[in-house]
Structures are given as C-alpha cells and as structure tokens.
Amino acid sequence: MEELKLIMDGKRLDGRGFDELRPIKIEVGVLKRADGSCYLEMGRNKVMAAVYGPREVHPKHLADPSKAIVRYRYNMAPFSVEERKRPGPDRRSVEISKVSREALETIIMTEMFPRSAVDIFVEILQADAGSRTACLNAASVALVDAGIPMKGIVTSVAVAKVDGQIVLDPMKEEDNYGEADMPFAFVIRNGKIESIALLQMDGNMTRDEVKQGLELAKKGAMEIYQLQREAIMKKYRTEEEEE
Amino acid sequence: MEELKLIMDGKRLDGRGFDELRPIKIEVGVLKRADGSCYLEMGRNKVMAAVYGPREVHPKHLADPSKAIVRYRYNMAPFSVEERKRPGPDRRSVEISKVSREALETIIMTEMFPRSAVDIFVEILQADAGSRTACLNAASVALVDAGIPMKGIVTSVAVAKVDGQIVLDPMKEEDNYGEADMPFAFVIRNGKIESIALLQMDGNMTRDEVKQGLELAKKGAMEIYQLQREAIMKKYRTEEEEE
Amino acid sequence: MEELKLIMDGKRLDGRGFDELRPIKIEVGVLKRADGSCYLEMGRNKVMAAVYGPREVHPKHLADPSKAIVRYRYNMAPFSVEERKRPGPDRRSVEISKVSREALETIIMTEMFPRSAVDIFVEILQADAGSRTACLNAASVALVDAGIPMKGIVTSVAVAKVDGQIVLDPMKEEDNYGEADMPFAFVIRNGKIESIALLQMDGNMTRDEVKQGLELAKKGAMEIYQLQREAIMKKYRTEEEEE
Amino acid sequence: MPEDILVDIRRDYVLSKLRDGERIDGRKLDEFRKIEIKTNVIEKAEGSALVKLGDTQVMVGIKMQPGEPYPDTPDRGVIITNAELVPLASPTFEPGPPDEGSIELARVVDRGIRESKAINLEKLCIEEGEKVWIIFIDIHALDDDGNLMDASALAAISALLTTTVPAEKFELGDDYPLPVRNLPVSVTSLLVGERILVDPTRDEMSVGNNFVTMITDQDDNFVGMQKSGTFLLSEEKFYELMDVSIEKARQIREILKDI
Amino acid sequence: MPEDILVDIRRDYVLSKLRDGERIDGRKLDEFRKIEIKTNVIEKAEGSALVKLGDTQVMVGIKMQPGEPYPDTPDRGVIITNAELVPLASPTFEPGPPDEGSIELARVVDRGIRESKAINLEKLCIEEGEKVWIIFIDIHALDDDGNLMDASALAAISALLTTTVPAEKFELGDDYPLPVRNLPVSVTSLLVGERILVDPTRDEMSVGNNFVTMITDQDDNFVGMQKSGTFLLSEEKFYELMDVSIEKARQIREILKDI
Amino acid sequence: MPEDILVDIRRDYVLSKLRDGERIDGRKLDEFRKIEIKTNVIEKAEGSALVKLGDTQVMVGIKMQPGEPYPDTPDRGVIITNAELVPLASPTFEPGPPDEGSIELARVVDRGIRESKAINLEKLCIEEGEKVWIIFIDIHALDDDGNLMDASALAAISALLTTTVPAEKFELGDDYPLPVRNLPVSVTSLLVGERILVDPTRDEMSVGNNFVTMITDQDDNFVGMQKSGTFLLSEEKFYELMDVSIEKARQIREILKDI
C-alpha cells in the first residue's frame, strides 16, 4: 500500500488543527414515543438515541430487586456504511454496547428504581469514525431529556495517533490509516471532568503519547459538554416559551 | 422473454373456462392424533391440515385470560416444490400464516375458551398456485372436524388477471406469467357469503377488474363451500353408519 | 479408491493385536471449579470431563419434582479435528449427547435429588475414532469424583470390523476404511459387567460377527474399568497422604 | 396509571368523538396527517429519505451492489426489501429477528414497488445471467405514531427517486440515476364500525388493528392490497376503500412529483 | 382428565394385559401393525412414498440436484437425510429447529440407507471431484401413533425405489431410475421387563421409551443398530432382538419387493 | 449455604485483608499467580498451548487454512479470533452462542495480537487478492478461577509461537514456522478503592468486576487497553496502571522468550 499522508503543513486532511473537533449538531426531544431522545451529528456520524424508562423489565427474571437494570443497544442501520451491513448485532456492536452501557450505568441513579429497566437504544444512521463516541454523547442527552436522575453527564471523544501526531476526534481516514485509536468517555459534574467512564485503545502508543492523548481528549470533552448543555437548555427554554 | 399465450380460443392452458375451478378433493378426519384434520387437493396442491385444541397454552405467558388464542402455521414440506425448499419458516410463510390466522380467528368463538389455544397446522405436501387458499379451505374443515365452535365457515379462492382476462382459481403458469393475483377468503353463514375475511392482491388491476374479480371469487367460493359441506357430512354419515 | 490394507501379518497399522486397546491415560480432579472432573487420553483422543451438581435447574420449568434431571454435552473444540470445526453443536454432537446421557442416566441415583440437575460436560480437545467412548469413560470417572451416588460405573469401548476381522478399540484409519463400527457402553458393578447401557452400530456385520464383537468389547471394557478404578483410587490415596 | 387502563380510556375517547363524526386530532375522516419528506439525508447511501407523517418517522436507505440475478429473470435487477422495527421507535418493539409485523410491512411495501414496475429492472442488467444490480431497500422505523405502512412506502419511493446507481465505485462506467418510471402510493385505512379512517394514528389504533392497505399507481390502477387484522370486511366497505384510496393517492403523488 | 393421569391409566392397562402375554390391540408380541405403502404421491418430487403403519403416517419425498461431492469421495453422490417432526403430527411436537429426537430419527434412517449401500453412489457421479448428484431424503411425519422410526425407514426406501434421477431438468442427459441395490429394513422393539414388543404403538410407549432399533439388509446382515432410551439391556435380550429383527425384516422386505 | 451469602462472606474477607494491604492468597498486590505454559499439546492443531495461571486454565488451538483476503488488504493473511466460554469451565457459563463476555475476551486478545503486529501477515499471502492464509485462534476456557483475559492472551501468543504453517497439507510447498515478530503481553488489574490488584482471582472478583486490561509490546508500547466493568477510573489510577502493566508484562515476556 502506498503511504498516505494524513497530515500536511500542520493541518489534517479536512483542514482541522490537531486539537479541533469535527462540527457537532445536537437536537433534543425529537421522537414522540420515546421518553427521551436526541439526534446528534458529529462529523459525518448521524445518530439517533432514545431512552425508555424507568419501566417494567421483560423478561421478568432479569429484574434486579435492588436497582434498575440498564440496557444499551448500539445498532447500525444497514445503509449507514459503505457496504450494506446485514441487519442485526455483530460482534463489534455487542462489545461497543457492553462498554457503553457500563460507562452510562456509572452515572444513572439505578438504586432509585428497583425492579425496573432503563433502556437506551442508539441507531447509527450514518457511520464515520467515532460512532461509539457520538452515540454516547447522544445517549447522555437523551437520558437527561427522559428525566432519568443522574450523578453527572457522560461526554465521549476519541483521540488518535496519526503520522506520529496525537490528534483529537479522528475521522474515517485517520482511523483507517492512523497508528492508534483511543476512545474515552468522561463523567462531568459541576462543569468539571471527574473521572474516566470508558477507556479503550488499540494501535501503538508510548506512555507519553497516551498521556498527551488523555489531555487532548479532556479538552475536547469539555467543548462537547458545552454543546450538550446548550442543546438541553435550548429545549427547555423553547418549552417554557411555548407554555 | 418470449410472450406466453395463457388463453387460446377462450380456454385456459388446462382447458378450463374462465370461471372454472380446478378439481378439488376433500377428506375429513384422516389423522388420529389431531383433534380435527383434513386432507385437501386443489389442482396439484396437496395439503394436510390439523387442529389441536382448545388446549393449554405453552409458553404460559402467551395465554389470554379473556379468550382463546389462535395460532396458524403454514409450512411447506421440502419436497413440495420444484427446487427443494430449506426446512423452516421463510418470510413468505410468515406473512401467509399471519393473514390466514387473522381470517380464521374472525369466525372462531374464542371467548368461549379463555386461557387456551386453538392451534391450526397446515402442511403443504405439494404446492401449486393458490396453496394459501387450499390451506384455508382445509383448515376450515379441520376446525369443524375438531368441533371448534364457529360463527360460520371460511372458504377461500383466488382470482387472477391473465392475458387481460379475469379468471378463477389460477394455476401455476397463470400465477407466474399473469398480470395480477388476488386471493380472497369469505365467511359463509347459512349458505350465504357474508363478508371478506382475507384479502390480498398484487399485480395490476383497474377498479372494474377488481370488482369483476370479487364477483368471480364469490361464485367459486360457493362451489368450494358445497364440497366442504359434502365432505363433512360424508364423514358424519359414515360415522353414524359405523355405529 | 485404492484398497487400503488395514491388517498385515495379523497386526494392525499401529502394531496392535486384534484385542488390544490403545494406550489410556486418566487423571482425576484436574479442574477447580467443577464438582468433579477427569482428563482422559485414549489413543490420540484427548478429552476433559466436568460434572456440576446436583444443583439448581435453570430454566426452572425443566426441573422434575420426582428426580434429578441429567444433562450431557459432548462438544468438540474447533481445533480438535483436521479441518477446523465451527463452534457449537452439530447434528452428530446432538445424537452422541443424547445416547451418552441415556447411558449415564441409568446408573445415577436421580431419585435422591428431586428438582435438581446433574450436568455433565465433555470437551473433546483432540478427536480420533472412538471419541464418544473416551468421553463416556471420562464422564463416568468425573461423576465418581463429584460424589454423585451411582449404582455402578459406566465403561465404554467400540469394536470394529476391519478387513473382515473384528478388532477392539478402532483408531481413525480403521474407522474410516473399515466395514463396521460398533460402540458399546456397559454397566459394571461389583467388578462384573451387568448390562449394556449404550449400543450403536453402523456398517455391515453378520449375527456371528456382532456376537464376537460383543465378547471382545466386554474384554476391553474390563481392562478400561481397571484403569478407571486405579485413577480414582490414586486420587483418594494422594488426598489421604496430603492430609 | 397502568398501560391497559390508559388504552381503555384512549379507546373510549376515540369512539365517543367518532360518534360525532370527528377524529381526536381534528382531522377529517379521509385526511392524511402533515407529510414532510427529506431526501438525500444519508450521503453514504445510494439514495435515502426521511418521511414524517405527523409524528410518525421512517427512514429508508437504498444500497446497491452488483450480484447474481434470479435464474428466471437473468436480465433484470433484483429488489430486496427489508424492514427493521427497532426498539427505539416504539415501546412495543423488541430487539431480535424480524417478527410477522415487520415482515408484512416489508413485503407489502416491496409489492407496491415491484408490481407497479416503478423501477425499470431491465436497465439494471450488467451481464445477462451473470451480474445485475441488487437494490436493497432498508426501511428503518424511527418513531411509530401509527401507520408505519404508508410512511414506509412513501419513504421507499422517495428514496428510490433520488438514488444514483453507483457504477463508478464498482468500475462499471459512469454513475446514473436509478430509472424510476412509476409512483406507487399506499393508502392505509382503519375500519371502525361503519367508518373509514384514513392514515390512522397510534391513539386511533387503540380501537383495534383493523386495517386495509391499498396501493395504486399513477394510472389509478391497483398494484397491491392487504387486509391486515382480525376483522370482517363487507363488500360495500371494500368498494368504498377503493374509491378513497385512489383519491388520496392522487393527492400524495403530487408531493412526490416535486422530489 | 389431566394428561398425566391418563398416561398412568394407559400404562397400567398395557402392563396388566402384558402380564397375560397380550397386547392391547390384540397383536402378537412380534407382530407389526398393518402396513400400507403408496408411492409416487408427490409428482413434483423425484420420488415419494406415504407409509401407514397402523395409524402412524409418514411421508418421505426425494429431491435431487447436482452439487459438489465431499472431498474424500470425489466420485460419489451425496445423501442428505432430514426429518421434520412437525407439530401437525403430534401434540408433543413443537415448531422450531430439529430437536434431538428428530435428529436421531434422521441419522438412524440415514445409516440404514448408507451402510446397506442401498444406493449405488458411484453411478451418481457427474464429473469427478466437481459435480455429483445430491439426494435429499426428507422425512415428514404426519401422524405419530408410535414407531416413527420404522415407518420413516420404510417410507425412505420406498420413495428411493421409485425415484427418477432428473437429468433432463438439469440438461445432463436422459432421466434414469435411481440405482437401488439393497433393501434395508428397520425393526424397532420396545422392551418391557422380559418382553420384547415389536412395532410399539403410542399407547404402549407409555410404559417407557425403551427402544432398540436394528436394521438388516437383504443378506440378513446388520447395517445399523441404535439403543434409544434410559434403560439397561441384558446380553440375553440383545441376542433375542437380533433374531426377531432378522425375521421380521424378512417379512417386510417381501412387501418392498412388490414396489 | 446459598450462593449469595457465600459471595458476601468472600467479599468481606477479601476487603478485610486488603485493609491490611494483603491478598487472601498471600500474594503481593502486583504479583501474578504461578504461570505454567505447555505448548504443542494438540497434535492435530497447527499450534496449541495450555496455560495455567494459578488454577485458571485456558487452552488455545491454532488452525490454518487457505482462504480469501479482505478486499482492503489483498496481500495479507487474516486473523480470526474466537472464544468459547464452555460451561465445563465455570458454573456461571451457559451453553449457546457467544455472549458479550466471550466476545469481549476474544476481541481484546485479538487486538493485542493484531495491533502489536505480532504475526507478519505479509508473509502469509499465497496469491495476492485471491488466496491468503487464514489463522483461526480458538480460545477454549477449561477452568475459570479468575483473569481469563491474561491467561487467554498468554495462551494465544504461546500457541502462535509454536505454530507451523501447514503448507504441505494444501500442496503449497514446504511447511514453515509461523512468522511471529512481537510478544504482546496482557496485564489485567482489579481496582478496589485505591488499590490495584494485578491478576485477580475469582474470589477477589467478588468485590466487583472493576477491571482494566493493558497490553504492551516488547518495546513497552501500549497496543491495547480495555476498561471493563461499571466503575469510574481516576486519572491518577490510570497512570499507575500504565506503570504496573509495563513492568509486569516485562516479567511475563521473559517466560515467553523461553518457548
């Protein structure tokens, strides 16, 4: 394979600097049936999140008498990718659903709703690199929209190593041809990053590069957090105005 | 594809007139284990229907406290068609099972048997055009044989548009190369057609052709109904004689 | 296909006489989590058996109020055979699991443990001819190791017809190119063969050959039984010494 | 309040309004909800459309790739229609393989496209008997506030109208627009006693799943019909449904012509 | 009356009759029920047979098509045997993928055909290593009044005896009869205490699922055996079973010769 | 005693020891259990290894066969990693298709092998774009006494180190050793409050499934990380984990070098 130059003159293929996010668009409360919902674009990712709950658990034997169970389904529409994807979960979706659920479960006050379920469904309508982070950001907003009591908000972003450089929020080409990919999710509380809720990594990074990546991810997460907040507040403002 | 002439000199490929049914053969009570059963041939279709019930529902959570549930399984034997069919339900069978169940459920007095199930199984041993109508006719007789209380009898037949002509009870070639196919099922009560229990259509028909098709279907259904009655009565006569 | 000579100068391809077993190695109690376990080699077969129980039944509706249910899972590791085997049960495994379960269930005192389950899992790590017999021998020892009350011990061995000759414990080549294969399992009690717990056969054998095969199988089973006993006693001796 | 009591209340309300000939959202009996169609919403798809029918939302994406023709139509493209009623769209949808509801939805939508000959499949032959274009029509429900059928059918034909055959990607010459030559329109009605309610909402469906779908083409001919639900249909209503379906489809087809 | 009480009553009745050496339907211990065989009942199949064994009914259809040989037998046809215990045939059968009962049934029937070399597979090679005839033997149970095993084995060999290799359909020359050269016959017995009951009915099976199936070929050689059920078999009974199986199979083989 | 009470007792015991900075089996916080590796245990596999990590036992078998490359890497071999948590290995494992636990296990192990470029996939091309070697890495758990992750990763690389490419069997020239050029090592830690417990046992896991796995290569670079479990990780602990993972991996890598 010919060497692909992903960085030229200090700029990335799409003109971004190393520490810049892709454009983000967030809409809250876009679905009628769901208890909470959010449509989110992050670069070319287009995802829809819905939250149902707290509600009864089916099948019943899955219910936990001491707290709500949290379920998360990351699902790609067949038309969301270059080559049509066969419907239904594949191994990748199952892994992403697991780590995403674990990240969100840390902030949901599940002990307030014993024997019930909080179901989070995310549909990837168009996928680009970082779809799991886009989904987590959308899901987090949908949880707020559904009024689920939470100890903070989850905000997610990836960093990558590309042509030896650590960059924020990699797009498809950087993910495919870069040297490493590292998605994070953070818990943000009182406007500050408190801890890491999701951490994965694959590729090749030195200890220092990882450290550099974490710092960059935190910066990006704070920017996304502001957009999440604005979108939520905009909805509530609109609702108040309508009343 | 070369144009296939399906009608010549006012006759169809098998010599039938436009309003003629294929030969029909009905045998009642042919299975020991089932509560009711019927073997039916309609042209080259050969189908076997069995009814079990009212009986306990498994799994239990499917039971309805206010009435019996009705289940219908249209299943093709692997050897019933030109090219061997893989065992198990395909999408076509699932759709046919649904609309057939809905047709029969309208006449079964389900409210008499709360928490129970009436199971109707139809095996297509040989398939030709119109297998869903043959199955419904067999199932209807099997329900009578099982002694399930009903508000009428369901009789089913299709019409088709072939070389611009509306014909009754199309066979394989007419179904494959015709311009439209329209299966009906009717509820017959006190010897008269009361209403439509199943209605599907695909192809291309004008409003008038649809009307013409409905009239033709009603004529055919009345003939089939007579054969269903005879078959049932023959069985009861035989049983009385044997006693 | 060219004729393969499986017997030359009264010896088999691996130098064994007609009535000789392949080398057998048995280790008891090799797993920590299982209630009983056994690793067994029989020729090139390498199998691991584990027993769990008596324990609660899941799902609960499978429980029998009058006795323990017995479950048996014969499972081949993907790397156990020449060409990689897709994970999960195939039709052959399902049949072997059924007849093996039935063989062991005859000797387990299931009536002592109503509503519970005795689960027997056997993993084939490397397969050669006779893997079902190796598994049964391992499972039988694992049951003893788990302390499951039994009316005897099950010991299993196959015979084959090879170049017209009845031979004991056939290996792969004899199984593939021989004229018949006949696996047996016996119940041994008080050091004597009491009855047949498993019997299958395919190939072509006269009545006399079957009889000859049974006698040979009984001889082989008694030898295996001694090895099973020794392995069990060795473990208990070791445990006593350690105390 | 438990869900079944809510359903009872909703049904009573729908029925009491209907006694006065009114629908709970103020529509006329034969009036569709507001229709919004956005096309080309998914750039990675060969064609796509998001349809809003009131609060019901359905997205359809079209993917195309070369593949084998059916043996009996060696010179024609292949249509494969699939519907996913993902649990995001309704509290009653479950994850898992398609159930009878989503299979029926996909098959009826497919029939409308296929039987109206909306796509000129002869123009999708690459090499007779060897290679033709496979068209995947994937229906993805997003919000089920009733009448997914008509919303899906509308999204399907809208997405097809904006589909580009991706010939370049497969080194098969220049891209070209998918040849669409008919505009099938699906009209679904709910039958409540003697009334016919066109384009029923979820709330109206609380009175029962008594549907008839009729699909017509641009010549007002019928190309597909499906009675769906456990109820009996009189001959009289059948004829009435044909008339209303033709008329409503004509109106909706005007919207499609603007795509 | 609940089903389990009925089973108890039935079992007691079967056992009390047996104490006098009698079966509830008056048959001798080693007597088969009446056998009826109809062949060529499904014209679309390459071969077919409907077998009635008393009230037990099984249909077998044979389909053939060209396909790839197994790598280790590049010059031979392939047999694939499948059994469906459809819920039509018994209140105890469930819809769904084959369970262990139907898998065992299919595999034992298959073994009888295969090991008796009933079909001359060498004559079903089309092009060595590339293309051979695949024979699908599909067992379809219609009414299970006991001993589906022997009914299925009988239907399978009967269907094969009337099978035509559909060479013309695949442009592979003239059709010809499937080369069948042996007549395997399955005999299943129920063991009740010291008694051997040949061809058990459903009612007799209420005493326990203690079966042995033995399949012999036309030279009275054994080609397949299967002990099925949770019970112990004595050596003595094993030998008795061999004798009875050879004898009964001879009788049934006479019927087959008339096909 | 019911299982949940046992879990409570176990947890209390683990926690009370930890308060004194001790582990229940006497190990230091950053100490692995005894590691035993046996290779070439399955002759029919192209490579194999049985790893014991204390009482945890995992077997990995490698099978190789020619197959098609991925379209985007036409000149490289393909790795397929699969894990079966068979019910033999733990009372909590169920038969059936892989659940999320076994999928995560397989994918993390796969990532370590793949991202460290441990296998020189370019040397596994047979014919560019047509045929390459497929490597199946099958992880078979035998006894789960905790930390299957590290045991599986260790068994996988050990098995690969002893794998022979079976070229002769497929008539593709002489057999040759699989080209392995890196030694990824996985280190999994359990987080309990402020403590980091390396290589946790089953009993220790009773305090919660709070794991972080970090995989490093022979240059001490990170090639894979996975936080697994419902807990929050502080930045401080994250850096501590990186240090401990590098250090422990170095020690384990020494063992691998002796294979």
CATH number at F42 reads: 3.30.230.70
pLDDT tens digits along E180-212: 999 999 999 999 999 999 999 999 999 999 999
Averaged pLDDT of chain A: 95
**Which residue among C91, C187, C203 places its CB closest to the CB of E223?**
C203
Higher pLDDT, residue A4 or F220: F220
Instruction: Report CB contact under 8 Å: D88, A127.
Output: no
* Overall average pLDDT of the E130-152 stretch: 98
Nearest-CB residue to A95 (from F104, F229, F233): F104
Percent above pLDDT 90 for chain B: 91
Q: Which residues of E touch B79 (CB under 8 A)?
A: 42, 44-45, 48, 61-63, 136, 138, 140
Strand partners, C168: C159
Please give the average per-residue pLDDT across B162-187, as a whole number.
96
When CB atoms are compared, the residue of D100, D231, D238 closest to B98 is D100
Domain range holding E71?
A: 33-256
Interface with F, mutate which of C27, C32, C33, C82 (most F CBs under 10 A): C33
User: First and final CA of chain B: distance in angstroms?
Assistant: 61
Token pair, residue D153, equals 């059918």
Q: What is the mean pLDDT of chain B?
A: 95
Mean pLDDT of F47-70: 98
Q: Identify the band that residue B232 occupies on the pLDDT scale cut at 50, 70 and 90.
A: very high
Greatest Cα pair distance, chain B, in angstroms, is: 61
Q: Which helix (H) or strand (E) holds B76?
A: strand B69-76
Element of type H or E holding D14: helix D3-19
Q: Which chain C residues have a beta carbon less than 8 Å from that of E105?
A: none
Which chain F residue has its CA at the smallest distance from C77's CA?
A: F140
Residues in chain E with CB shorter than 8 Å from the CB of B80 are 42, 44-45, 61
Rounded CA-CA distance A26/A48 in Å is: 10
Tell whether C98 is covered by a domain.
yes
Residues B123-157: tens digit of each pLDDT: 999 999 999 999 999 999 999 999 999 999 999 99
Which chain E residues are Cβ-neighbours of B52 within 8 angstroms?
87, 91
Interface of A with F in 71-130 (CB under 8 A): 91-92, 94-95, 97-99, 102, 105-106
In a domain, F6, yes or no: no
Residues of A in contact with F242 (CB under 8 A): 207, 210
CA-based nearest residue in chain B for residue E52: B31
pLDDT above 70 (res C2): no
- Mean of the pLDDT values across residues C215-243? 91
Helix boundaries (H) for C124-206: 131-145, 172-177
Count of domains in chain E?
1
- Among residues A115, A127, A27, the alpha carbon closest in space to that of A63 is found at A115
The residue assigned the tokens 């015991």 is F13
pLDDT digits (tens, 9 = 90+) for D95-124: 999 999 999 999 999 999 999 999 999 999
Checking A163-166 for CB contacts under 8 A at 24+ apart, the result is A163/A5, A163/A6, A163/A7, A165/A7, A165/A18, A166/A18, A166/A209, A166/A212, A166/A213, A166/A216
Which of F103, F220, F224 lies at the smallest CB-CB distance from A201? Answer: F224
Contacts of E64 (CB under 8 A, 6+ apart): E46, E133, E134, E135, E136, E163, E165, E166, E178
Element (H, E) at D253: helix D235-257
Q: How many CB atoms lie within 10 A of CB C16?
A: 18
Q: Output Rg (C-alpha) for chain D, integer angstroms.
A: 19
Q: Which residue among F100, F225, F230 places its CB closest to the CB of A199? A: F225
Residue E152 has what pLDDT?
Answer: 98
With 50 as the cut, is the pLDDT of residue F172 above it? yes
What pLDDT sits at residue F6? 82
Residue to substitute from E231, E241, E245, E247, interface C, most C β-carbons within 10 A: E231
Residue B7 in any domain: the answer is no
- Chain D contacts of B185, Cβ < 8 Å? none
Contact E97 B88 (CB under 8 A): yes
Name the residue of chain B whose CA is nearest to E137's CA: B79
Residues 6+ apart with CB under 8 A from D194: D237
How much is the pLDDT for F2? Answer: 58
CB contact under 8 A, F242 and A207: yes
For residue F82 the two structure tokens come to 């699969």
- DSSP E strands in chain E: the ranges are 35-39, 47-53, 56-67, 78-84, 125-127, 131-143, 164-165, 176-177, 185-192, 195-198, 211-216, 222-228
What is the average pLDDT score of chain F?
96
Decide if B44 and E82 are in contact by the 8 Å CB cutoff.
Answer: no
**pLDDT for the residue B237:** 85
Q: Between helices C91-105 and E100-115, what is the axis angle to 10°?
A: 110
Q: Which amino acid is at B79?
A: F
CB A214 to CB F238 under 8 A? yes
| pLDDT grade for A235, boundaries at 50, 70 and 90 | confident
Q: Examine the pLDDT at E159 and tell me if it is beyond 60.
A: yes
Is B97 a domain residue? yes
Question: Has residue C179 been placed in a domain?
Answer: yes
Contact of D61 with D163, CB cutoff 8 Å: no
Is E54 part of any domain?
yes
What is residue C158's predicted lDDT score, i.e. its pLDDT?
Answer: 98
Cα end-to-end distance, chain C, whole Å: 61
Q: Note whether A79 contacts D42, CB cutoff 8 Å.
A: yes
Measured between CA atoms, how close is F207 to chain C, in angstroms? 19
> Is C122 in contact with F89 (Cβ distance < 8 A)?
no
In a domain, D1, yes or no: no
Q: In B, which residues are within 8 Å of D98 by CB distance?
A: 91
Measured between beta carbons, which residues in chain A are less than 8 angstroms from residue F98? 91
Place of tokens 């879990």: F7
Residue A1 forms part of a structural domain: no
Q: Provide the CATH number for the domain around residue B117.
A: 3.30.230.70
Residue A7 located in a structural domain: no
Please say if the pLDDT value at position C59 is more than 90.
Answer: no
The shortest C-alpha distance from F149 to chain C (Å) reads 17
Chain F residues with beta carbon closer than 8 angstroms to that of A197: 232-233
**Which of E4, E40, E44, E136 is the best substitution to test chain B (most B C-beta atoms within 10 A)?**
E44
Q: Is B178 helix (H, G, I), strand (E, B) or coil?
A: coil
Contact E55 B122 (CB under 8 A): no
Q: DSSP characters for C184-200?
A: EEEEEETTEEEEEEEEE
To test the contact with chain B by mutation, choose from E3, E78, E81, E88 the residue with the greatest count of B C-beta atoms within 10 A, namely E88
Q: Would you say F136 and F64 are in contact if contact means Cβ atoms under 8 Å apart? A: yes
List the single residue in D with minimal CA-CA distance to A57. Answer: D91
User: Does pLDDT of A1 surpass 70?
Assistant: no
- Let me know if residue E132 belongs to a domain: yes
Check residue A243 and give its pLDDT.
62
Q: Give the mean pLDDT of A165-187.
A: 96
Judge whether D16 lies within some domain. no
Which helix (H) or strand (E) element contains residue A241?
helix A207-242
Q: Which two tokens stand for residue B126?
A: 């040989």
What is the per-residue pLDDT for F111? 98
Q: What is the pLDDT of residues E30-39, one digit of tens each?
A: 999 999 999 9
User: How many residue pairs bridge chain B and chain D with CB atoms within 8 Å of each other?
Assistant: 87
Looking at the DSSP bridge assignments, the partners of residue D150 are: none
> Looking at the 3D structure of chain B, how many domains does it have?
1
Residue D69 tokens read as 């023709």
pLDDT band at B93 (very low <50, low <70, confident <90, very high): very high
Its domain, for residue A127, covers 14-242
pLDDT at site E6: 82
Residue-level pLDDT at B239: 78
Q: Is F255 exposed, middle or buried (0-12, 13-18, 19+ CB in 10 A)?
A: middle
Q: Which residue out of A92, A201, A205, A215 would a mutagenesis test of the F interface target, given it has the greatest number of F Cβ atoms within 10 Å?
A: A201
Instruction: Give the pLDDT of residue D144.
Output: 98
Cα separation of F81 and F83, whole Å? 7
| Cβ <8 Å between E43 and B44 | yes
- Cβ distance E143 to B34 less than 8 Å, yes or no, reads yes
pLDDT of E236 over the 60 cut? yes
Chains in touch with A (3+ beta-carbon pairs under 8 Å) read: D, F
State the pLDDT at residue C1. 41
Task: Check F88 against C121: CB less than 8 A apart.
Answer: yes
State CA D186 to chain mean position distance: 6
Residue F137 φ then ψ, to 5°: -100, 105
* Other chains touching D, judged by 3 or more CB pairs under 8 Å: A, B
Interchain pair A125, D140: CB under 8 A:
yes
What single DSSP character describes residue A59?
S
CB interface of B with D, residues 30-49, below 8 Å = none
How much is the mean pLDDT over chain D?
96
Place of tokens 């007002």: D220
Q: Confidence band (pLDDT; 50, 70, 90) for E7? A: confident
pLDDT at position D30 over 90: yes
* pLDDT value for B3: 60
E91 to chain B, any CB pair closer than 8 A? The answer is: yes
Say if B227 falls within a structural domain. yes
Which pLDDT score is estimated for E4? 72
Quick one: tokens of F212? Answer: 């972080």
Could you tell me the pLDDT band of residue A64, with boundaries at 50, 70 and 90? Answer: very high
